[in-house]
């Protein structure tokens, strides 16, 4: 049986878990290709215009998997991974949106409801119903998840050593160790952004590699401990409703306080409601901390040259300020 997994949204956080799980059940896993302009165009045509760019991209990936003739497409309904917090509503409505708007998708989407108290979503009870659709036993589901959980934990531990989600995936799934960064100019940037924005090269235009090629070190929220991210929000009267937005904001506040972080870049996709709130909070607080902060808002038409110029100017400003301070000291 061929199970399609779109290379979009939480693919960048849970793929090692899902791939291992399905493979242990004896399925063949098919992932869609990297996001291209053509794929984005197809996604745009299949989406309502006001929806955010990452969902348009997701639609493009689902269409590609449908064209590839997979038996099922795995698109879980991500509800909650924290008590009293939820995923952005677009995640919760995603299976319905896809099933009723993309021709041929209705019978093919597998959508277990994911509700958990932590980032670990490998509780077998969440997947038993889906197992029945696939014709496997509860025992098969349990045993496959047990192996998948180990792989995912290894993936997360590796990320927390300072590797990007893509590097950690390559390491746990292919045994490939990341290459060492060639140059280091002594500048570290805290990069705020959802994994599906930061690691999709069409959305972020390869921002991690661009920064590293300039000799800049990069820190993202998945490289940090979840408890620490949560603690960073203790001063707020209440948390935001959306867990991944809380993770981003927690990382942002850590970056503001951490003297090892020289500046913050927030990558956000056009049409994201939660990000407009986070961006504003960071804009206000970064002034108070005197830390350079820049927002990169990407839409369907953002040009690469424009992005490169902005990043270079931002890094250059930080580098000059830093080297001037060192000389004066």
Pairing of strands 113-115, 77-80: parallel
Interface with ligand SF4 (CB under 6 A), residue from 55, 121, 240, 318: 55
DSSP secondary structure code for residue 180 in this structure: P
Is 127 a binding residue for ligand SF4 by CB under 6 A? The answer is no
User: What's the min distance (Å) between Cβ of 102 and ligand SF4?
Assistant: 17
Cβ–Cβ < 8 Å for 259, 325 = no
Smallest distance from ligand SF4 to CB 192, Å: 13
User: Shortest gap between Cβ of 273 and ligand SF4 (angstroms)?
Assistant: 5
DSSP for 67-115, written as a single string: HTT-SEEE--EEEESBTTBB--HHHHHHHHHHHHHSTT-TTTEE--EEE
Q: Which residue, among 191, 190, 192, 182, has the nearest Cα to 214 in the 3D structure?
A: 182
| Contact between 54 and ligand SF4 per CB under 6 A | yes
Q: Which of the stretches 98-106, 198-206, 271-279, 321-329 binds ligand SF4 when contact is defined by CB under 6 A?
A: 271-279
Segment near ligand SF4 (CB under 6 A), from 39-47, 106-114, 139-147, 266-274?
Answer: 266-274
Q: Which CB sits closer to ligand SF4, 98 or 269?
A: 269
Could you tell me the sign of the dihedral formed by the alpha carbons of 217, 219, 224, 230, in that order?
positive
Q: Which stretch binds ligand SF4 (CB under 6 A): 129-137, 138-146, 225-233, 267-275?
A: 267-275
Contact by Cβ (8 Å): 17, 29: no
Which residues are near ligand SF4 by CB under 6 A?
Answer: 52, 54-55, 88, 90, 194, 269, 272-275
């Amino acid at each position: 049986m061929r199970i399609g997994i779109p290379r979009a949204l939480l693919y960048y956080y849970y793929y090692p878990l899902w791939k291992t799980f399905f493979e242990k059940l004896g399925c063949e896993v098919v992932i869609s290709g990297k996001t291209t302009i053509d794929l984005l165009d197809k996604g745009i045509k299949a989406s309502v215009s006001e929806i955010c760019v990452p969902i348009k991209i997701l639609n493009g990936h689902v269409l590609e998997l449908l064209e590839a003739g997979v038996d099922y497409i795995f698109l879980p309904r991500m509800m909650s991974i924290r008590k009293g917090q939820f995923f952005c509503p677009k995640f919760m409505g995603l299976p319905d949106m896809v099933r009723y708007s993309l021709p041929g998708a209705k019978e093919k989407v597998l959508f277990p409801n994911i509700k958990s108290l932590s980032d670990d979503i490998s509780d077998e009870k969440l997947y038993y119903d889906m197992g029945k659709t696939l014709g496997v036993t509860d025992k098969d589901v349990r045993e496959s998840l047990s192996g998948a959980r180990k792989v995912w934990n290894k993936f997360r531990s590796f990320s927390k050593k300072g590797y990007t989600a893509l590097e950690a995936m390559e390491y746990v799934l292919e045994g490939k160790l990341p290459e060492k960064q060639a140059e280091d100019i002594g500048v570290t940037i805290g990069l705020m952004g959802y994994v599906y924005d930061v690691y999709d090269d069409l959305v972020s235009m390869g921002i991690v590699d661009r920064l590293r090629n300039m000799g800049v070190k990069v820190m993202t929220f998945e490289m940090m401990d979840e408890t620490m991210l949560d603690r960073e929000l203790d001063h707020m009267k209440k948390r935001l409703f959306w867990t991944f937005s809380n993770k981003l904001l927690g990382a942002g506040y850590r970056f503001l306080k951490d003297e090892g972080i020289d500046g913050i870049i927030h990558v956000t996709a056009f049409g994201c409601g939660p990000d407009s709130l986070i961006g504003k909070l960071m804009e206000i607080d970064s002034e108070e901390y005197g830390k350079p902060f820049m927002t990169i808002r990407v839409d369907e038409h953002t040009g690469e040259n424009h992005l490169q110029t902005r990043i270079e100017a931002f890094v250059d400003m930080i580098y000059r300020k830093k080297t001037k301070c060192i000389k004066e000291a």
